[in-house]
Amino acid sequence: MKKEIFNNRKNILKDLILNNELYVPMKTKELAILLQVSKEQRHELQEVLDALVAEGTIGVTKKGKYCKPETTAVTGVYESTRRGFGFVVVEGREDDIFIKESDSNGAFHMDKVRITITNEKKKDRRAEGKVLNVLEHQITELVGTYQKSKNYGFVIPDNGKIAYDVFIPQEKSLGAVTGHKVVVKINAYGGKGKNPEGQVTEIIGHINDPGTDIMSIVKGYDLPVEFPDNVMNSLKDIPDEVDSKDYSGRFDIRDMQMVTIDGEDAKDLDDAITITEEDGLFHLGVHIADVSHYVTEGSPLDKEALKRGTSVYLVDRVIPMLPHKLSNGICSLNEGVDRLALSCFMDIDYKGNVLSHKICETVVKVDRRMSYTNVKKILVDKDESVIAEYKELVPMFERMEKLAAILRDKRYKRGSVDFDFPETKITLNEKGEPIEIKPYDRNVATRIIEDFMLIANETVAEDYFWQEMPFVYRSHENPDPEKIAKLGTFINNFGYSIRIGDEVHPKELQKLLTKIEGTAEENLIARLTLRSMKRAQYTTECVGHFGLAAKYYCHFTSPIRRYPDLQIHRIIKENLHGGMKDKRVDHYNKILSEVAKHASTTERRADDAERDTDKLKMVQYMEKYIGDEFEGVISGMTAWGIYVELPNTIEGMVSLASMRDGYYVYDENHYEMINENTGKVYKLGQKVKVIVAGTDRILRTIDFEFA
């Protein structure tokens, strides 16, 4: 079809669909009849319609009817990338929608936008769309590094997803100089070839000043550091020690042998353990700080805790959900002092079955504050000096180890999936400089506490599910079938398989991880299995926890640092006191959905901030090793580079531009980078040697080159 004829037909169809008041959405066949297009020419009509949809001029419904783009428009959040293109996340839609830079219509990172879908998803190709208009700018401030020019300045955003530097007129720079970390208020969002414009509202400090780097991340994520005056004032009514009148009606278990087990540097101790064994049963008590006794619903403390959602554990500081007077004081189960708790007592047989349980309010007194290190020294290292120091507690730790192994075995048999990827432990000196980075040690003691917290969380969740109470559950939905099918196809290349019916059972993934243990492809397949899973979140519906193969699961054990735990403590206590009448049930049904959603959002924000501070310190650490060679494992691939992870958990990227031995193409179906000239292949999980080529504190990136 000649270009002139094609464009003329586009204009006719565009005018008919967009501007004719009498037009109703029609399919291709109906349009062909209306426009008197013959059957032989119908393919030409289809070609013109496809072109109009692809450019976002018109829309097409799921039933194939052509209409105004607004009719089929969807609303979502635009997430940009430094490379210019972006993605729109639509609530309820499994996959993001790809937006070309030319189709972004000036949208800024995290803008709420309306888009029309120009190409639906096909096999491995994402759906594509075009931004019709921006509904709301959600980012009004950002943090970045100031660069001074002659008569103006600009700020390079710390957020690597923001593609443009922000222009700062000289009179709005607040006197910032090159290298200052600053907070910028955005006055104009720019567009087609024009950068955003803003003004400096705060100078955090110079990039080389100790603490400025972390505080920049804190400000960038808008993490609340200081508590408001009304919250601090309300602390005057909270005692430093438990008032004896609060013991009334509580089960007094201060004479039971009880310990806390935490990391050496932990200060907010919210769980303690009691355990005995008799007549073929373990009697396990998990005792959790009764935070809700002091943080009452609707109080300034409660509103601030809800707003924060969670404590944030950064590499050099903790930003707590609750003020220290609570988190490290009256609510912390410190050694040798009376504390109020909410306890879950469980009678567990030698097969790991919870035969009976009781949830009640208690008064507790911890005998010893134990560390993971010392418990490991007792149970694994058989350290005589440590055993002598805690000799009266040694039988208790042996019972713990025995029961934890039973519970772990039971969980394993039902299909619980354990991804044992190492977390990072970063040690800083007094100047905030990283002096050691290594995998965090998971030992017998950390696993004991994990196992006991898991069984308490499951027991409480099942109890309240069957009571049909309004509740907040910790849910982990089944993986997306397409991702599992793709994983199944890939592992066939290595001689493995997984059974996939309507949905995959966690036991299938667990069996796969067991089979690959110790093999060359273990790292590769384990990572791909993890990536095929969904993210856990808080919900008001009990949909189960796929990764744990648990039908019922909640977060009950950390009310000092997680709001959902505090929320369900309040519900449990109200129920224990007989106060869960229809009016209160209605109240909780109204608020819990928003509580769960907000808690999931603040949890993600905390995770992102923690990851960014870790990345920053990793960059600073590797600055000392530029030019040095390391061995690592290929941990990820994109169309523009290969990620390599070192044994100390530090990850960097080998860019395709630095690979001088020819032209490489990324095969995303097989997770391979292939040299089209030589046939050389790099695979996910492959061991490689790399040289540290450079680092960038602003972008928080480490550049490797293959040795």
Same domain, 508 and 412: no
Which segments in the chain show pLDDT lower than 50? none
Give the per-residue pLDDT at 468.
95
Q: Domain boundary at 136, 154, 175, which?
A: 136
Tell me the residue range of the domain where 53 lies: 3-69
Give the per-residue pLDDT at 420.
67
Same domain, 8 and 115: no
Asked whether residue 214 is assigned to any structural domain, the reply reads no
Q: What is the pTM of this model?
A: 0.85
Asked whether residue 199 is assigned to any structural domain, the reply reads yes
Condensed to tens digits (0 to 9), the pLDDT of residues 74-95 reads: 888 999 988 888 999 888 777 8
Same domain, 466 and 484: no
Asked whether residue 419 is assigned to any structural domain, the reply reads yes
Give the per-residue pLDDT at 124.
67
Neighbour-count burial for 468-487, b at 16+ CB within 10 Å, e otherwise: ebbbbbbbbebbeeebbebb
Condensed to tens digits (0 to 9), the pLDDT of residues 277-302 reads: 999 999 999 999 999 999 999 999 99
Please list the helix, strand and coil fractions of the chain in percent, rounded to the nearest 5, in that order.
35, 30, 35
Task: For residue 636, give the amino acid letter.
Answer: G
Same domain, 463 and 484: no
Rounded distance between C-alpha atoms, residue 182 and residue 174, angstroms: 10
Same domain, 581 and 450: yes
Contact 615, 699 (CB under 8 A): no
Q: Domain boundary at 69, 93, 123, which?
A: 69
Pairing relationship of beta strands 651-655 and 701-706 according to DSSP bridges: parallel
Same domain, 554 and 443: yes
Give the per-residue pLDDT at 489.
82
Domain total in the chain: 6
Q: How many residues does the chain have?
A: 707
- How distant, in Å, are the alpha carbons of 121, 176, 281, 409, 629 from that of 413? 38, 61, 20, 6, 43
Lookup result for tokens 């400090």? 205
Rounded distance between C-alpha atoms, residue 558 and residue 543, angstroms: 21
Asked whether residue 539 is assigned to any structural domain, the reply reads no
Give the per-residue pLDDT at 60.
82
Q: What is the CATH number of the domain that holds 45?
A: 1.10.10.10
Structure tokens at 693: 């080529």
Asked whether residue 284 is assigned to any structural domain, the reply reads yes
Asked whether residue 295 is assigned to any structural domain, the reply reads yes
